[in-house]
Amino acid sequence: MALGLSALTDDQLFELLNEACDEMAQRDSYIREKQQEAVMERGEKLKLQRKALDEFIEEVRKEYIEGIRKDIRRDVEAKVKSGEIQLLTADEEAVEILKADQAAREGIKKLLKQEH
């Protein structure tokens, strides 16, 4: 029996298949159960695929962040080596902060004296 299915598009064939399955499910409880199992299996498969995708995205993010960290470290080390920047100890930084604070206070005093 030729039904002329070759004239249908893929979407039309898929829709026809869905309607045929629905019709068979209405006629036979066994087919209805199998159809429900297939839907559940597809749902579970989608959940697993989504979980795997989420895990993959998280791994890519971690690798990307680690790459950025390595690039920053490499840049800082190169600038320290070239003398472009200088790393300070906590004590050295405290001294620099005190010097900057003192210079700011002196600048404010000078401005106040000029105003009077």
Annotated domain spans of the chain: 11-85, 87-116
Token pair belonging to 115: 């105003």
Give the residue from 47, 50, 23, 45 showing the smallest Cα distance to 35.
23
Helix (H) or strand (E) holding 3: none
Q: Which residue has the higher pLDDT, 23 or 64?
A: 64
- Specify the pLDDT at position 20: 85
Q: For the chain, give percent helix, strand, coil, nearest 5.
A: 85, 0, 15
> Could you tell me which residues come within 8 angstroms of residue 8 by beta carbon, excluding any fewer than 6 positions away?
16
What pTM was estimated for this model as a whole? 0.44
Residues 26-79 have pLDDT tens digits of 888 887 787 778 777 888 888 889 999 999 999 999 999 999 999 999 999 999
88 sits in which H/E element: none
